[in-house]
Amino acid sequence: MEIIITTRSWVPIPAESHFSLANIPFGIISTAERTNHRPAVAIGEYALDLETFAAGGGFSEISSIQKDLVVFSQPTLNAFAALGRSVHCEVRKYLQNIFAEDTDYPHILKSNLSSQRDALIRLTKVINHLPMQIGDYTDFYAGRNHAYNVGVLFRGPENALQPNYNHLPVGYHGRASSVVVSGTQIRRPCGQILQDPKAELKIPRFHPSKRLDIELELGAFVCKSNDIGDPIPIEEAEEHLFGFVLMNDWSARDIQAWEYVPLGPFNAKNFGTSISPWIVLADTLEPFRCRGLENKTELLHYLQEGKTNNVYNINLEVDLITSSGATTTITHTNSKNLLFSFPQMIAHHTVTGCPMRVGDLLGSGTISGTEPGTQGSMLEQCSNGKATIKLNNGEERTFLRDGDTVTMRGWSVNSDGARVGFGECVGSILPAHLASNA
């Protein structure tokens, strides 16, 4: 199919919209009138219901997808993702053609008012759901600036990074069952907390976390599996990437401080991970490739990537909104602040023969810059409680309070000025449930 070279759409698209014609992200929606979960794409201020679109003959001009139209009637995107990168690309280009001002197929939607009424839904009337059924979730630690900043806080600058850090994408297995879609409220966790780390006799107490934090990350979904025992070569790893979302891996720093030795974080990370609802396809981000952080360490052969532009130039922002509605942007940074790419993460994850499955989620690790206001966690911004974050209404924060809302945004801008973005990743903090028998 010929690539659409146009930035104009017959669908009105606000200049600041993340969902320009250059994007076409995929998600799962329902509405008050039709409660079944089904696939959709976002365009401007609308969602195109792909189940309704397909049932009405919307894909009649693309022969290759005809035998697989059932994927647009599924409650998740797993079946569509499993069709592979070439199909994702072809379907996206077809939908770009459908939405283009000079579309080759005006009878499908542009001049078909009945189909527009049935299939085009305002985003304000859409309920978003988790886009994928997530079997496994792995969180990496590829944001070297964050790793260094946190290391300095706890070990000093000389020992900030562990000896293995520059050699491999450090990661741990997260909890897939607590990955939630944007807008889901997050309950403040309770757990074992060491009140006085300097005390000779270290006895924890059970308490709600006082150091509830954010972690600004990119998430990537897997679209192609591998058999157990068969590693994914670095040169093939990109074919296993479906697309990307924003991710907030909520963290209870005080629970983590007591529990993480010797096996790493557990309850401090398993209570909630928020993701944005619209998956930006891997092919969509190709124009925004760039170099990541320089790694002067010679990597082992299985991590040596052919592309030097192996990460993406995506602007990232974090807003903190208080319970009174006061909004402060506390972070401006960029996703190019990663030491390892997602293909390298996949190659490392599977080098032992670990099988990946369609729908598996990979987190980049917290993305931070080097300057004040570019850090992707409050832990860094408040120097582990030694400083405060000043808010626009005069309030201060070290960590999150009950009633606070965190909104993450990410977008790139192409050469025509069109935005390719993720929308928002939002979560609000609810008070803790205190267990009476703890």
| pTM listed for this prediction | 0.96
301 catalytic residue (yes or no)? no
Do the beta carbons of residue 130 and residue 76 sit within 8 Å? yes
Q: What is the pLDDT of residues 371-399, one digit of tens each?
A: 999 999 999 999 999 999 999 999 999 99
Question: Which member of 18, 88, 146, 348 is catalytic?
Answer: 146
Q: What is the pLDDT of residues 252-274, one digit of tens each?
A: 999 999 999 999 999 999 999 99
Do the beta carbons of residue 246 and residue 425 sit within 8 Å? yes
Tokens of residue 29, six digits = 């929606």
Q: What is the pLDDT of residues 317-337, one digit of tens each?
A: 999 999 999 999 999 999 999
Do the beta carbons of residue 72 and residue 42 sit within 8 Å? no
Long-range Cβ contact pairs of 97-104 (< 8 A, separation 24 or more): 97/1, 97/4, 98/58, 99/9, 99/10, 99/11, 99/21, 99/24, 99/43, 100/4, 100/6, 100/8, 100/9, 100/10, 100/21, 101/6, 101/8, 101/9, 101/10, 102/6, 102/8, 103/10, 104/61
Q: What is the pLDDT of residues 180-201, one digit of tens each?
A: 999 999 999 999 999 888 888 9
